[in-house]
Structure 1
Amino acid sequence: MDIKLTEEEKIKILNSDDIYGIMQKILLRENKIDQNREHFWVIGLENNNRILFIELISLGTVNKTFAEPMEVFSFALQKRAVKIILCHNHPSGELKPSEADKDVSDKLIQVGIIVNTEVIDHLIISTKSYLSFSDTGLLGELKKSTKYVPKYVLEKRIKKEATEIAKRNEKIEIAKELKRKGIDEQTISESTGLSLEEVEKLRVKKK
């Protein structure tokens, strides 16, 4: 269900406080009917972080909600959102993320990478406060997870990392050889692309 927003609510999101200010009002409004059920919303953003839409994806139970990737991203892709924020409430008022909350976030983050629609935060809210996955560092941790990364993507990523390591090692060997020949460190840095600090740390025996 698409949440109707006033022009004042279609603001540019600068931080998690901004999004909570809007979602708190929506939660209070929807709580009149389903106050004991978890709600899961998706907030779509333009490139400049201005809100495109807020969509209620699902209504769950008192302690569980459901967020299928197809439901989460279909509206975002239709509206051409370049990034999204996930948001759901805990009727109990307890804001600590459950393992299920972390797991669904992990899955949606990886799907977002594939469809080029980045998940930039996940808020757990109550009528009085909220917790931001981004602010607490949890979003960053989940982005490093490989649990839901498709095998072909993981293989491509490993291959890319291996290639980058090989290129870096080649630069280091070239820098060492130039250093042995007495070439000044600034020139070596400019020639190899290594930082001056990296070049200075190289230990070699000059010829």
Structure 2
Amino acid sequence: MDINLTEAEKIKILNSDDLYGIMQKILLREGKIDQNREHFWVIGLENNNRILFIELISLGTINKTLAEPMEVFSLALQKRAVKIILCHNHPSGELTPSDADKDITDKLIQVGLIVNTPVIDHLIITYKSYLSFKDTGLLEKLEKSTKYVPKYELERRIKEEASKIAKRQEKIEIAKQLKRKGVDNETIAFSTGLTVQEIEKLRVKKL
């Protein structure tokens, strides 16, 4: 269900406080009917972080809500949102993310990468306060998870990392050869792309 927003509410999101100000009002409004159930919303943003839409994806139980990837990204793709923020409430008033909260965020982060609509935060809200996955560092941690990364993507990342290591090792070998010939560190740095500090640490016997 698409939430009707006034033009004043379609603000530019500069930080999590900005979004909570809007979502708190929506929670208070919707909570009059289903105050003991979890609500899960998706907030679509334009390139400049201005709110494009807020959609209620699902209503759950007192401590659980469902958020299928198709439901989450459907409107975002239709309305050409360039990024999304997830948001759901905890009727208990407890802000600590559950394992299920982390798991669904992990999954949606990976789907967002595939459809080129990244998840940039997930807010857990109550009537009085909120928790931001981004502000607490949890989003960054989940972004590094490989639990829901497709096999082909994992293989691509492994090959990419192996290629980076090989290229770096090649630069180090070239740097060692130049250092053996007495070339100064600044010139070696310019030629290889390594830093002067990295080159200084290389131990070689001059020819």
The alpha-carbon deviation at position 195 of structure 1 amounts to 1.6
The C-alpha deviation readout for 1:147-194, integer Å capped at 9, x for no partner, is 100001110111111011100110111111111111111111111111
**TM-score, scaled to structure 2:** 0.98
Q: Identity over aligned residues, as a percent? A: 83
The alpha-carbon deviation at position 8 of structure 1 amounts to 1.3
Match of 2:140 in 1: 140
The alpha-carbon deviation at position 66 of structure 1 amounts to 0.4
Match of 2:189 in 1: 189
Match of 2:105 in 1: 105
Match of 2:203 in 1: 203
Structure 1 runs of 4+ with >3 Å offset: none
The AA in structure 2 aligned to 1:138 is L
Aligned residues: 207
Alignment of 1:63-102 (within 5 A): 63-102=63-102
Question: 5+ unaligned residues in a row in structure 1: which ranges?
Answer: none
Q: Secondary structure at the match of 1:56?
A: strand
Match of 2:51 in 1: 51
**TM-score, scaled to structure 1:** 0.98
The alpha-carbon deviation at position 11 of structure 1 amounts to 1.1
Q: Measure the CA separation in 1 of the matches of 2:92 and 2:16.
A: 21
The alpha-carbon deviation at position 201 of structure 1 amounts to 1.8
Alignment of 1:156-167 (within 5 A): 156-167=156-167
Match of 1:155 in 2: 155
Q: Measure the CA separation in 2 of the matches of 1:186 and 1:4.
A: 60
Q: Secondary structure at the match of 1:32?
A: helix
The alpha-carbon deviation at position 202 of structure 1 amounts to 1.6
Q: Secondary structure at the match of 2:134?
A: helix
RMSD (Å), alpha carbons: 0.7
The C-alpha deviation readout for 1:21-77, integer Å capped at 9, x for no partner, is 100000000001110100000001111111111110000011000000000001101
The alpha-carbon deviation at position 200 of structure 1 amounts to 1.9
Q: Secondary structure at the match of 1:92?
A: coil
The AA in structure 2 aligned to 1:2 is D
